């Protein structure tokens, strides 16, 4: 990084001045601008996800009257897609935008904050994060890595993925090579699949060259521009990612050095970015799905016995994680208690309504 020390010193001085004079001098009038670097895990041309990061930076710049100036670096321009956690943790970069389950190798508890197979949908997940203790627990864990996370979008329900051949029984999972992240990958691995984790920008080539047989990515809005449908025409409905958290994560020292006003502004913009992303997915998924079907894609749902086996295996995965990682246990107990509390209302509310509106 060029001039890191000077910049950092100026930045901290600016933040201190803004803090000390907050009563008399609004942050927007402070002489020193807060210039930050944000790396993402998304290729430069990734719709919705990279677009969300751009929206975050542009909105903050406008609302802070130019005080908070974030420069965005797509995957590979400063650090590799999956190198952002380490770079921000070490203070080489100030912020990253990514997906929380990418860090399950650091600590498997991150999988819970990312969203869970057969788990809560986005409305329930956001309720847990904001009003059920999820964010506080996540931040407690992230602080150990010198990180401070904010909600940076939610994909809503993701599709189960793209397959060259239909899945008719569990035998078709055994030996399957499928790109898959998070706890879903652990389920498939236990059932005999191999599940390499590739960043979004590397999936197509791996699928085209036969390095993998199948892949999941997100949902029609994003998947349509990948080209997966040219190679694998069976598009399965979802089970493994009902509400995946995208995250805006600050280096904790940088976050702590911001003024209260800056922190609150960033918090409000990240909340807006969070709901905005879900709305954008919802809006674009509908038209993209129709286009995919016109292109010859066949939408399928896994056979009931396969889904039952996935669910049973998922419960075994949870038991193993609880036994081996106390951070996972803490995250899971909070998540699962909240989920249990939600289930009755969601059955009466969302689930029943979706049935009722078909009449
Ligand atoms: Ca996914």
Q: pLDDT tens digit string along 155-171?
A: 999 999 999 999 999 99
CA 50 to chain CA centroid, Å, is 12
**31 dihedral zone (left: phi>0; alpha: psi -120 to 50; beta):** alpha
Q: How far is the CA of 216 from the centre of ligand 1 (A)?
A: 6
Q: How far is the CA of 219 from the centre of ligand 1 (A)?
A: 8
Q: Count the alpha carbons within 13 Å of 304 in the hemisphere toward its beta carbon.
A: 0
| CA pair distance 253, 64, nearest whole angstrom | 21
Q: How far is the CA of 347 from the centre of ligand 1 (A)?
A: 25
Average the pLDDT over 265-290 and give the result: 97
pLDDT tens digits, one per residue of 297-339:
999 999 999 999 999 999 999 999 999 999 999 999 999 999 9
Q: How far is the CA of 67 from the centre of ligand 1 (A)?
A: 35
pLDDT tens digits, one per residue of 109-154:
999 999 999 999 999 999 999 999 999 999 999 999 999 999 999 9
| CA pair distance 356, 350, nearest whole angstrom | 10
Q: Tokens 């010859």 identify what position?
A: 296
Q: How far is the CA of 346 from the centre of ligand 1 (A)?
A: 24
- Please name which of 264, 67, 83, 234 lies closest in space to residue 167, comparing C-alpha atoms: 234
Please report the pLDDT score of residue 200 as a whole number.
Answer: 85
Q: How far is the CA of 154 from the centre of ligand 1 (A)?
A: 11
How many CB atoms are located within 10 Å of the residue 72 CB? 21
Average the pLDDT over 348-358 and give the result: 95
Report the DSSP beta bridge partners of residue 300.
Answer: 236
Helix ranges (DSSP H) in the chain = 4-20, 49-63, 84-89, 110-114, 122-131, 134-143, 182-190, 203-208, 220-223, 228-231, 252-257, 260-294, 304-324, 326-346, 352-356
Q: How far is the CA of 217 from the centre of ligand 1 (A)?
A: 4
Q: How far is the CA of 102 from the centre of ligand 1 (A)?
A: 10
User: What are the backbone angles phi and psi of residue 161, rounded to the nearest 5°?
Assistant: 120, 180
Please report the pLDDT score of residue 31 as a whole number.
Answer: 53
Distances (CA, A) of 241 to 20, 113, 124, 283, 343: 45, 12, 13, 19, 17
**CB–CB of 56/152 below 8 Å?**
yes
Letter string b/e over residues 215-237, b meaning 16 or more CB atoms within 10 A of that residue's CB: bbbbbbbbbbebebbebbbbbbe
Q: How far is the CA of 182 from the centre of ligand 1 (A)?
A: 9
Q: Is the pLDDT of residue 28 over 50?
A: no
Q: How far is the CA of 218 from the centre of ligand 1 (A)?
A: 4
Q: How far is the CA of 245 from the centre of ligand 1 (A)?
A: 10
**Residues, beta carbon < 5 Å, ion ligand 1:** 158, 216, 241
Please report the pLDDT score of residue 277 as a whole number.
Answer: 96
Q: Is the pLDDT of residue 30 over 60?
A: no
Q: Which residue has the higher pLDDT, 66 or 9?
A: 66
Q: Is the pLDDT of residue 288 over 80?
A: yes
Assign 279 to helix, strand or coil.
Answer: helix
Q: How far is the CA of 163 from the centre of ligand 1 (A)?
A: 14
Q: How far is the CA of 180 from the centre of ligand 1 (A)?
A: 7
Per-residue confidence band for 17, with pLDDT thresholds at 50, 70 and 90: very low
Per-residue confidence band for 199, with pLDDT thresholds at 50, 70 and 90: confident
Q: Is the pLDDT of residue 23 over 50?
A: no
**161 dihedral zone (left: phi>0; alpha: psi -120 to 50; beta):** left
CA 4 to chain CA centroid, Å, is 29
Q: How far is the CA of 36 from the centre of ligand 1 (A)?
A: 28
Q: How far is the CA of 327 from the centre of ligand 1 (A)?
A: 23
């Amino acid at each position: 990084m060029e001039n890191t020390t000077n910049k950092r010193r100026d930045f901290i001085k600016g933040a201190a001045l803004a803090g000390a004079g907050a009563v008399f001098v609004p942050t927007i009038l402070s002489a020193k601008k807060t210039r930050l670097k944000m790396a993402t895990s998304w290729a430069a041309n990734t719709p919705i996800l990279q677009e969300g990061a751009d929206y975050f930076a542009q909105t903050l710049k406008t609302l802070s009257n130019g005080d908070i100036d974030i420069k965005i670096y797509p995957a590979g321009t400063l650090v590799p897609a999956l190198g952002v956690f380490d770079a921000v943790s070490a203070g080489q970069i100030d912020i990253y935008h990514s997906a929380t389950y990418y860090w399950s190798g650091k600590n498997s508890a991150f999988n819970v904050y990312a969203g869970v197979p057969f788990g809560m949908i986005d409305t329930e997940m956001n309720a847990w994060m904001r009003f059920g203790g999820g964010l506080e627990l996540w931040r407690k864990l992230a602080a150990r890595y010198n990180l401070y996370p904010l909600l940076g979008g939610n994909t809503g329900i993701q599709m189960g993925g793209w397959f060259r051949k239909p899945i008719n029984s569990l035998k078709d999972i055994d030996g399957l090579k499928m790109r898959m992240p998070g706890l879903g990958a652990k389920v498939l691995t236990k059932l005999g699949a191999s599940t390499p984790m590739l960043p979004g920008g590397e999936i197509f080539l791996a699928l085209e060259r036969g390095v993998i047989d199948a892949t999941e990515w997100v949902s029609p809005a994003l998947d349509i521009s990948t080209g997966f449908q040219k190679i694998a025409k069976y598009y399965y409905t979802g089970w493994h990612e009902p509400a995946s958290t995208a995250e805006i994560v600050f280096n904790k020292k940088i976050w702590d050095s911001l003024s209260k006003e800056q922190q609150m502004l960033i918090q409000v913009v990240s909340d807006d970015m969070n709901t905005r992303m879900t709305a954008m997915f919802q809006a674009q998924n509908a038209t993209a799905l129709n286009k995919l079907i016109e292109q010859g894609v066949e939408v399928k749902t896994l056979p009931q016995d396969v889904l039952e086996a996935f669910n049973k295996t998922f419960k075994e995965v949870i038991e193993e994680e609880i036994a081996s990682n106390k951070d996972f246990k803490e995250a899971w107990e909070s998540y699962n208690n909240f989920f249990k509390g939600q289930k009755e209302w969601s059955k009466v509310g969302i689930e029943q309504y979706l049935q009722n509106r078909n009449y």
